A and B are shown apart, each in its own frame.
Chain A
Amino acid sequence: MSQSPLDQPAVKGHNTLETDVLIIGGGVTGAGIMRDLALRGLHTLLIDKRDLCAGASGGNHGLLHSGGRYVSNDRHSAIECRIENEILKRLAPQCVEQTGGLFVAVEGDDLEFAEKFPQFCAAAGISCTEIGPNEALRMEPLLSEKLVKAYLVPDATVDPFRLALENVAHARLLNDSIYRPHTEIIDFRIDNGKITAAICRDNRTGVMFNIQARQYVNAGGAWAMNIAQKAGCTDVNLLYSKGTLLVSHDRMAGHVINRLRPPADGDILVPGGTVSVLGTTSVHTDNLETVRPTVAEIDRNVMEGAAMIPALATARYIRAFSRVRPLLQSSPGEDGRAATRGFALLDHTSQGLTNFCTITGGKLTTFRLMAEKTADLVARRLGNTQACTTDSVALPDGDACRWTEPGAAPRYWYKANNADDMILCECEMVPQSAIDEIVKCAPGAEAEMTLEAIALRSRAGKGPCQGSFCGIRIASYLYDRGYYRDTTGLTHMRDFFNERFKGMRTVIWGRQAAQMELAEALHCGLLGLDNLDSDCPEMAILP
């Protein structure tokens, strides 16, 4: 990478960073802990071996549970969801869309279960209103005509990327807490029952360095067990469940639509801006690093989803993704769906450590509560007596974080009415000014910015073309601005398209096949991104 004005060497002159609390894992939980501690006056350093929401935080429906999903088998989780749902709606409205949710049963579903649903909800304090099938069909015309029961619940949707970005941005604003992406824990130095340093590697440069903190928090999600083991802790036991979801080209429904039955494949459709997300399959996996959707999982989701919403069988899909959910193993032999969706905070004192803890399990909806419990422990250990305030202080609305919201970019662009501010991503209407703002000041942008990192912080590449065209245009723009000065931009482009393709590979049929044919003709046939390191010296573009 060439040195540009925006490159900040991460470690200048010395190889140790210092902070009060090191938080490992840039999911929503890690981001939430960062903000919670900053509100209590504690300085933190948040690291992630990839980038914000690279794990389960970014790989879910974006559902803000009402709790309805858990009323029949996990009332405790259901109640937690209900409370957190209300807090987030109140304090982080910019990250939430209040869609409402429907639980629907179709012919052939277990009617006895359906009849009991309102009682279950009542026991958890969750509002639940039965509506007639005709009224439900009026609300959501794509629902199956074979609908027999429908209940309204206060489900909503939440943008986990924006949530993480806003939490990190607020912590930075409060006390200069730092977020550092692409930073991986290699080992811990332990002395006398205390971790004295975390040995880290910058995964882009390969440079090793140390982080010294007074407290160390493991919020590694699915990777929490591996991280705990690096500190010699054997008390974190996780089950890994692979979930696969699909993103449709259009928004198929206004509400969250849940199948009214015990959790199973293809039983929920969640709107997200201009698209809908269908999921999910659940299979046990031991592999954390290379989970990819399979054609069989895609077909299963589509088939099951079509029982609720027949149009899903013929819908156009633009993307599929798989992520590993960490589930707490309480008794051996449990399957992924039956394992608890609760979370656990381990203080590791039984492992002989007094300044290390692990928070894992749980779900997006309860991230704030998980952060609160963790921050309580950390603060207590540091003698900090300030109480948690994340249940009363509103999450500020940060300018550089706003670009992940569907529809936000065109709104700001239209309002600014600047003819010179050209749209770079035409599917999602992301203008040059958005890219400028993200490159300059979005959390994590202090270090090197790739096309992938820009896409994570905006809607660029999220539309039907999945970045095929805007990837080229944004790269051109970054060259233009002098951000790229050599062939690095080409490798970033190639890597970005390869990354987006992982999510497209299993859903390329119908119009997506035409889209892909054109994209590949451009990327490979014309630009030669399949041959950047050609063994023919004349053609090799990479020096």
Chain B
Amino acid sequence: MKEETRHFETELAVVGSGLAGCAASIFALNRKIKIAQVGNTGAVAYTTGYLDLLGAVEESSKAVENPWDGLELLKKSHPDHPLSHIPAQDIAEGFRQFTTFLGESGIAYTGPQETNITALTPAGTLKKTLCVPATMAAGPQAFAAQRPCVIIDFHGLKGFSAREVVANLRHKWPQLTAARVDFPDMEKGEIYPEVMARALEVAATRTRLAELLREAAGEIKTIGLPALLGMHTPDLVRSELERLTGLTIFEIPTMPPSVPGIRLREMFEQVFPQKGITLIPQQKITALSFAPDRAQLNLRDNYGPIVIHAKAVILATGRFLSGGLEAHITGITEPLLDLPVHQPPSRTDWYREQYTDRQGHLIHKAGIEIDASCRPLGKNGTPYHERLFAAGIILAHQDWIRGRSGAGIAIATAYKAVQAAEDLLHARI
């Protein structure tokens, strides 16, 4: 069979389908820019569903209560940090647009507030985050109000132990207890969150589960469950279970890859094409080249080669896990364009001796550097190309892990990069 090359013309090509890439597409949609988005969506499935802005100022162990104040501190202590270059109102607007879009697409979120939410983790620890899925919101509220609550887990679901959550949290939440139930029709053997979530899309399963939950809750009115309340209509599944049980119900994230991450991925893959985005997910681009008047992306899928011409490109390929950066025995590289990577002088300096050192590891501060218009710098220190922009955690001078700031960096820098790309498109087209 002869393979025909398919051509696409677009204004903006987004390379990468993680949080930063998807946020860029959403912001560009809101600005009526024509978009093609390519690249792996793998890492989205690793998100918990929580959208952190800033949970800690890097190198400090202090948790950040008010992320907007935290950003002011960050500006002073970390002037190179990507978030230090973006006005707070733009960051807030980015979070608003992003969460609004998710809500309109079937996954409701709390909007950005003045302070961080103290959210629950599957180990019964706490973390600071800005926005949470509506299905999880009642957990932090119940904790803050110290309401009696039962954490419920399931026979056969490994990696989520209600007893663990309770054991680690009870000294902060004395009214917390644990219970275990059998998931309907999955009483024997190992069971998986994704399968359970899809099963709960069916009303009959919900009815049977509701009975078990009511029984397990006893006199207590609030229950927490691992995050598996539906795949495509989580808000409906939760409200139906609440109606059937008369209880307040919330989800706690499970270990990734988790249902909340898969929900986001599947939603993006479904909604983006409906909105007119040319979406070619799960395929890595093999080449990206620039002519004075346009960029060209080469890739292929099961049906053959694809060529995309775009007026502007946003590079949001992530770090090592997503392949945006590569770590070699001799140093760190950016594989797509061989952009210069800011990095420690030697591999010896990548990691500190102690893994959980609060200072964090220097390898995470490595990345590509950009100018004031989000353009990656080339080898001579000037922008690689005027049509190329970058966003997300591929950027240097941040440690999203220790800063609890992954979504914040993704959303804020995507917002800024789309702004800059739009300026270029308006000026040149």
Using Cβ atoms and an 8 Å threshold, which residues of chain B touch A477?
A: 158, 161
Bound-state CA distance A530–B404 (Å) is: 12
- A194 within 8 A of partner (CB): no
Binds B, one of A53-61, A88-96, A373-381, A486-494: A486-494
Known: A527-B125, A534-B61. A513 touches B118 (CB 8 A): no
Find residues 68-100 in chain B having any chain A CB closer than 8 Å to their own CB: none
B167 within 8 Å of A (CB atoms): yes
What's the nearest-Cβ distance from chain B to residue A418, in Å? 9
Are B356 and A525 within 8 A (Cβ)?
no
Number of interface residues of B (CB under 8 A): 57
Q: CB-CB < 8 A to B401: which residues of A?
A: 517, 520-521, 524-525
Considering the chains assembled together, what is the distance between the CA atoms of A23 and B328 in angstroms?
46
Q: Which residue of B lies closest to A493 (CB)?
A: B123
- Would you call A525 and B404 a contact (CB within 8 A)? yes
> Is the Cβ of B357 less than 8 Å from the Cβ of A530?
yes
Smallest Cβ distance from A321 to chain B, in angstroms?
15
- Considering the chains assembled together, what is the distance between the CA atoms of A497 and B404 in angstroms? 19
CB-defined contacts of A472 to chain B, threshold 8 Å: 123, 159, 255
Query: What chain A residues lie within 8 Å of B256 (beta carbons)?
Result: 518, 522
Q: Which of A294, A422, A494, A518 sits near B321, CB closer than 8 Å? A: A518
* Chain B residue, CB-CB nearest to A473: B159
Contact between chains at A534 and B164 (CB < 8 Å): no
Chain B binder among A204-212, A326-334, A353-361, A502-510: A502-510
Verify A498–B355 contact, CB threshold 8 A. Answer: yes
Count residues of chain A with CB under 8 A from any CB of chain B: 61
Residues of chain A lying within 8 A (CB to CB) of residue B326 = 510, 513
Of the listed stretches A101-109, A132-140, A219-227, A535-543, chain B binds: A535-543
A528 at the binding interface (Cβ < 8 Å): yes
> A538 to B118, Cβ gap below 8 A?
yes
Cα A534 to Cα B401 in complex, Å, equals: 16
- Assuming the contacts A476-B160, A476-B161, A510-B327, asked whether A531 and B167 have C-beta atoms less than 8 A apart, the reply is no
**Shortest distance between the CB of A248 and any CB in chain B (Å):** 13
Distance A525 CA – B56 CA, assembled complex (angstroms):
10
A501 and B167 contact, Cβ closer than 8 Å, known pairs A420-B156, A420-B189: no
Bound Cα distance A318, B11 (Å): 43
Q: Which residue of A lies closest to B190 (CB)?
A: A422
Minimum CB–CB distance for B160 against chain A, Å: 7
A510 touches B356 (CB 8 A): no
Which of the residues A469, A486, A524 comes within 8 Å of B255, measured between beta carbons?
A469
User: Is A479 part of the contact surface with B, judged by Cβ < 8 Å?
Assistant: yes
Is the beta-carbon distance between A487 and B167 smaller than 8 angstroms?
A: yes
State the Cβ distance, A7 to closest chain B Cβ, in Å. Answer: 16
Contacts of A530 in B (CB 8 A): 356-358, 402
Residue A309 at the chain B interface, CB threshold 8 Å: no
Q: Which of B164, B171, B350 contacts A479 (CB 8 A)?
A: B164
Closest to B403 in A: A525
B298 within 8 A of A: no
Instruction: Tell me the bound Cα distance from A528 to B320 in angstroms.
Output: 21
A204 to B357, CA, bound (A): 23
Chain B positions 343-374 with a Cβ under 8 Å from a chain A Cβ: 346-348, 350-351, 353-358, 361, 363-364
Q: Is the CB of A295 within 8 A of B348?
A: yes
Write the nearest CB–CB distance from A426 to chain B, whole angstroms. Answer: 10
B327 near A513 (CB under 8 angstroms)?
Answer: yes
Interface of A is mostly: helix
Q: Which residues of A contact B127 (CB under 8 A)?
A: 526, 528
A residues near B355, Cβ cutoff 8 Å: 497-498, 501, 505, 520, 523
Asked whether A86 is an interface residue with its Cβ less than 8 Å from the other chain, the reply is no
Whole-angstrom distance from the CB of A6 to the nearest CB of chain B?
A: 16
Known: A479-B161, A524-B402. A513 touches B167 (CB 8 A): no
B140: shortest Cβ distance to chain A, in Å? 12
Min C-beta distance of A421 to chain B, whole Å? 9
Q: Is the CB of A505 within 8 A of B353?
A: yes
Is the pair B358, A486 in contact by a Cβ cutoff of 8 Å? no
Tell me whether A485 is interfacial, beta carbon within 8 Å.
yes
Are the C-beta atoms of B321 and A535 separated by less than 8 Å?
Answer: no
CA gap between A480 and B163 in the complex, in Å: 6
From 400 to 445 in chain A, residues with beta carbon under 8 angstroms from any chain B beta carbon are 419-420, 422-424
Give A299 Cβ to nearest chain B Cβ, in Å: 7
Chain A: CB-nearest residue to B256: A522
Contact of B320 among A469, A486, A513, A524 (CB under 8 A): A513
A302 touches B (CB below 8 Å): yes
- In the complex, chain A residues whose CB is within 8 Å of the CB of B321: 514, 517-518
Tell me the bound Cα distance from A410 to B363 in angstroms.
36
Is B101 among interface residues, defined by CB-CB distance under 8 A?
no
Q: In the complex the two chains form, what is the Cα distance from A299 to B400 in whole Å?
A: 29
A322 to B113, CA, bound (A): 50
Smallest distance from the beta carbon of A456 to chain B beta carbons, Å?
Answer: 19
* 8 Å CB interface, A270-320 against B: 292, 294-295, 299, 302
Closest chain-A Cβ to B108's Cβ sits at a distance in Å of 22
Interchain CB contact under 8 A, B156 and A422: yes
Chain B residue nearest to A509 in the complex (CB): B327
B40 on the A face (CB < 8 A):
no
Could you tell me the distance between the alpha carbons of A489 and B163 in the complex, rounded to whole angstroms?
12
Contact of A541 among B160, B168, B329 (CB under 8 A): B168
- If A475-B164, A476-B160 touch, does A302 touch B329 (CB 8 Å cutoff)? yes
The CA-CA distance from A409 to B46 in the complex, in Å, is 28
Q: Is the CB of B123 within 8 A of A490?
A: yes
Chain A CB within 8 A of B271 CB: no
Cα of A530 to Cα of B160 in the assembled complex, Å: 21
B413 at the interface (CB under 8 A from A): no
Q: Which of B116-174 contact A (CB under 8 A)?
A: 118, 121-123, 125-128, 156, 158-161, 163-164, 167-168, 171
User: Does B406 reach chain A (CB closer than 8 Å)?
Assistant: yes
Contacts of A476 in B (CB 8 A): 123, 158-161, 164
- If A419-B189, A472-B159 touch, whether A497 touches B356 (CB-CB below 8 Å) is yes
Q: Which of A422, A480, A510, A534 has the most CB of B within 10 A?
A: A480
Task: Tell yes or no: B426 within 8 A of A by CB.
Answer: no
**B158 is contacted by which of A424, A502, A526, A543 (Cβ under 8 Å)?**
A424
For the complex, is B188 an interface residue (Cβ under 8 Å from A)? yes
Cβ-defined contact, A479 with B46, below 8 A: no
Please give the distance in Å from B152's CB to the nearest CB on chain A: 13
14 residue pairs A–B, Cβ–Cβ below 8 Å: A292-B353, A422-B158, A475-B164, A479-B161, A480-B161, A487-B168, A489-B167, A493-B123, A508-B350, A509-B327, A520-B401, A529-B125, A535-B62, A538-B118
Give A residues with C-beta under 8 Å from B: 292, 294-295, 299, 302, 419-420, 422-424, 469, 472-473, 475-477, 479-480, 482, 484-487, 489-490, 493-494, 497-498, 501-502, 505-506, 508-510, 513-514, 516-518, 520-532, 534-536, 538-539, 541, 543
| 8 interchain residue pairs of minimum CB distance | A419-B189, A501-B355, A479-B164, A513-B327, A530-B356, A476-B161, A513-B320, A514-B320
- Given contacts A538-B118, A539-B128, 8 further A-B pairs with CB under 8 A are A294-B348, A295-B347, A480-B164, A497-B355, A505-B353, A513-B326, A528-B125, A539-B63
